[in-house]
């Protein structure tokens, strides 16, 4: 006789979880619509210009299109572009840039200087610091070697938030680059479709987080981020950055997560942690203008799977660090409550995945007709999203199964990340 109330409770719990998903999604959409980009200053009122920007690019195992990417950076007329590679790759990088068609002309037209430095061993954070210390501009752009700037106004737009004195770090919209010859259902690979789907699902995240509390969806992308030189030239920042440890292992990747966390929360550090620069509450500037859009190429092979594992693992480490250590849940909540709630929710996702599976099983056993109705609702929403993805990227139609796998990757990735939490690798870079 007591079984029925118990089963009804299980039904209510499952429906409650899906109701929460619905409300949370609606809130995210509402917040994204509230976002407003930073206005561009009048030319005479701009505090910083592209000629104040030093671009720092760590690179190893670069793609053949690196010179083409460099030309898009130079079209923005920065002060200088500083490459940092490893010693054995130094001469090869010099020769490729010198011989690449269009580079010399782009350098001459931009007025920028190109410098190439090296470090003894491949480590992205060490390479970044080497370039940062050589930079002469008051604003430093940290740029990945696969970043493709879409307009000649990227820097103008990303510099606008620095009109405010409290903005220390700026990021813009990130999108995927699919060459024209790959926009063919017979040519594009399932790996590319999965990557495209994953990035497309995150598009509104930056706007929603920033509108909510001035944060971002966990990290400002390292593909292109602009920072005040005074912050990242600080020896204490660089000491923490290059000596960031996890379970006794020095971190190589996760540089963008560290920088985002440092900018948002370093003012919470106690006196004994203070650096030579007086701690202050720096803020982010998220500039989501089409003119600031930066593209990144999609991996066409299983290398994308290795890259995804690294991303998920780095994300889990970031959440654990922020919530438990630096700055900790309560201090974090005073600065970015929405980000804190989202991070905490992400931590319990594996638990709720197991709970949902159990509740679905019980629902099919005791309320099969209702289970079928709820499943229809879930599948309708999912297929609606997939159809919108197909309408936007019709050349992905033959590989839509890859997008479907990407949507459910969390069923594996969350557990895998916990099991490999102490693994450290720059997985898509064979030289590391």
pLDDT in tens, 419-428: 887 776 654 4
375 in any annotated domain: no
Dihedral (Cα; 82, 86, 92, 97), 10-degree rounding: -10
Rounded to a whole number, what is the largest CA-CA distance in the chain?
85
> What is the domain-level CATH number for residue 76?
3.90.550.10
Whether the CB-CB separation of 432 and 252 falls below 8 Å is answered with yes
Q: Which pLDDT value is given to residue 272?
A: 45
C-alpha gyration radius of the chain:
23
165 in any annotated domain: yes
Q: Return the H-helix or E-strand segment holding 85.
A: strand 80-86
63 in any annotated domain: yes
**Do the strands 224-228 and 167-171 form a parallel or antiparallel pair, or are they unpaired?**
antiparallel
CA angle 269, 421, 350 (to 5 degrees): 100
Nearest of 292, 290, 225 to residue 262 by alpha carbon: 225
304 in any annotated domain: yes
335 in any annotated domain: yes
CA distance 32 to 311: 24
Long-range contacts of 375-378 (CB under 8 A, 24+ apart): 377/18, 378/18
Whether the CB-CB separation of 66 and 145 falls below 8 Å is answered with yes
Q: Which pLDDT value is given to residue 344?
A: 93
Residue-level pLDDT, tens digit, the chain, 432 residues: 444 666 788 888 998 999 999 999 999 999 999 999 999 999 889 999 999 999 999 999 898 999 999 999 999 999 999 999 999 999 999 999 999 999 999 999 999 999 999 999 899 999 999 999 999 999 999 999 999 999 999 999 999 999 999 999 999 999 999 999 999 999 999 999 999 999 888 878 999 999 999 999 999 999 999 999 999 999 999 999 999 888 777 877 789 999 999 999 998 875 445 555 557 889 999 999 999 999 998 888 888 888 888 888 888 888 989 999 889 999 999 999 999 999 999 888 889 899 999 999 998 988 899 999 999 999 999 999 999 999 999 999 999 999 999 999 888 888 888 888 777 665 445 555
390 in any annotated domain: no
Whether the CB-CB separation of 121 and 79 falls below 8 Å is answered with no
The residue to which tokens 């970031």 are assigned: 318
Q: Give SS3 for 397.
A: helix
Q: What count of Cα atoms within 13 Å lies in the side-chain half-sphere of residue 336?
A: 30
CA distance 222 to 255: 7
Domain count, the chain: 1
Kindly report, residue by residue over 171-198, the tens digit of the pLDDT: 999 999 999 999 999 999 999 999 999 9
Whether the CB-CB separation of 262 and 180 falls below 8 Å is answered with no
**What angle do helix axes 190-201 and 400-407 make, rounded to 10 degrees?**
50
Q: How many CB atoms lie within 10 A of CB 6?
A: 11
The residue segments making up the domain with residue 84 are: 33-342
Q: Which residues of 354-391 are buried (b: 16+ CB within 10 A; e: fewer)?
A: eeeeebbebbeebbeeebeebeeeeeeeeeeebeebee
18 in any annotated domain: no
328 in any annotated domain: yes
Long-range contacts of 345-350 (CB under 8 A, 24+ apart): 346/315, 346/319, 347/319, 347/320, 347/323, 349/410, 349/414, 350/414, 350/415, 350/418
* Sign of CA pseudo-dihedral 193, 194, 195, 197: positive
Following DSSP, what letter does each residue of 309-375 receive, concatenated?
HHHHHHHHHHHHIIIIISS-HHHHHHH-HHHHHHHHHHHTHHHHHHHHHHHHHHHHHH-HHHHHHHH
């Amino acid at each position: 006789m007591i079984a029925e109330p118990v089963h009804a409770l299980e039904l209510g719990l499952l429906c409650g979880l899906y109701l929460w998903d619905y409300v949370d999604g609606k809130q995210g959409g509402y917040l994204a619509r509230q976002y407003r980009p930073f206005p561009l200053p009048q030319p005479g009122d701009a505090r910083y210009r592209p000629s104040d920007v030093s671009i720092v690019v760590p690179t190893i195992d670069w793609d053949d299109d690196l010179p083409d990417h460099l030309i898009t950076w130079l079209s923005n007329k920065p002060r200088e572009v500083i490459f940092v590679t490893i010693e054995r790759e130094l001469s090869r990088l010099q020769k490729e840039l010198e011989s690449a068609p269009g580079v010399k002309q782009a350098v001459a037209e931009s007025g920028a200087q190109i410098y190439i430095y090296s470090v003894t061993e491949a480590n992205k954070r060490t390479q970044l610091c080497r370039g940062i210390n050589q930079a002469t501009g008051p604003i430093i752009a940290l740029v990945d070697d696969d970043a493709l700037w879409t307009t000649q106004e990227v820097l103008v737009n990303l510099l606008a938030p620095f009109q405010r004195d409290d903005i220390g770090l700026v990021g813009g919209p990130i999108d995927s680059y699919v060459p024209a010859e790959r926009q063919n259902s017979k040519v594009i690979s399932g790996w590319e479709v999965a990557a495209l789907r994953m990035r497309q699902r995150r598009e509104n995240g930056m706007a929603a987080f920033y509108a909510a509390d001035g944060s971002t969806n966990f990290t400002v992308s390292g593909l292109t981020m602009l920072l005040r030189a005074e912050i990242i030239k600080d020896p204490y920042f660089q000491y923490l950055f290059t000596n960031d440890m996890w379970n006794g292992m020095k971190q190589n990747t996760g540089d963008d997560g560290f920088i985002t966390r440092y900018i948002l929360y370093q003012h919470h550090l106690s006196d004994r942690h203070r650096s030579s620069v007086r701690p202050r509450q720096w803020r982010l500037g998220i500039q989501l203008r089409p003119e600031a859009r930066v593209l990144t190429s999609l991996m066409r092979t299983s290398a994308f799977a290795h890259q995804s594992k690294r991303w998920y693992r780095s994300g889990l480490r970031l959440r654990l660090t922020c919530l438990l250590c630096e700055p900790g849940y309560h201090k974090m909540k005073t600065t970015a409550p929405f980000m804190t709630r989202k991070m905490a929710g992400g931590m319990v996702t594996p638990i709720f995945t197991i709970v949902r599976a159990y509740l679905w099983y019980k629902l099919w056993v005791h309320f099969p007709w209702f289970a079928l109705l709820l499943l229809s609702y879930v599948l309708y929403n999912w297929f609606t999203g997939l159809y919108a993805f197909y309408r936007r990227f019709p050349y992905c139609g033959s590989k839509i199964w890859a997008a479907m796998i990407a949507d459910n990757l969390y069923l594996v990735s969350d557990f895998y990340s916990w099991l490999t939490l102490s693994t450290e690798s720059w997985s898509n870079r064979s030289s590391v």
